[in-house]
Amino acid sequence: MRDEKSYIALDDFEHRIVVDCMNEMRNNLIANGKYTDAVDEVLLKIIDAKQKKFKVIYKEA
């Protein structure tokens, strides 16, 4: 079965918010004595994600 990949466009502010939220979720899991493996993997993917520049073209309908 092939893994499906998803892409999302975030600016610097949005990227920081996502990282902060994931880190807060990880801290809550640690405080509750639960496993953080899944959150750790996603957090590393977000932090290590490459930045790609692209143009957005708006067209009137």
Query: pLDDT value at position 33?
Result: 95
Determine contact, residues 18/10, Cβ cutoff 8 Å: yes
Domain assignment of residue 35, yes or no: yes
* Residue range 15-35, pLDDT digits in tens: 999 999 999 999 999 999 999
Token pair, residue 38, equals 């899944």
Q: Is residue 60 part of a domain?
A: no
Q: What average pLDDT does range 51-57 have in this prediction? A: 82
Question: Per-residue pLDDT averaged across 39-56, rounded?
Answer: 88
Q: How many domains does the chain have?
A: 1
Q: What is the pLDDT of residue 19?
A: 95
Residue 43 lies in a domain: yes
pTM, rounded to two decimals: 0.74
Q: For residues 61 and 58, what is the distance between their CA atoms, to the nearest angstrom?
A: 10
pLDDT band with cut points at 50, 70 and 90 for residue 53: confident
Tell whether 4 is covered by a domain.
Answer: no
Q: Is residue 3 part of a domain?
A: no
Domain assignment of residue 20, given as a range: 12-48
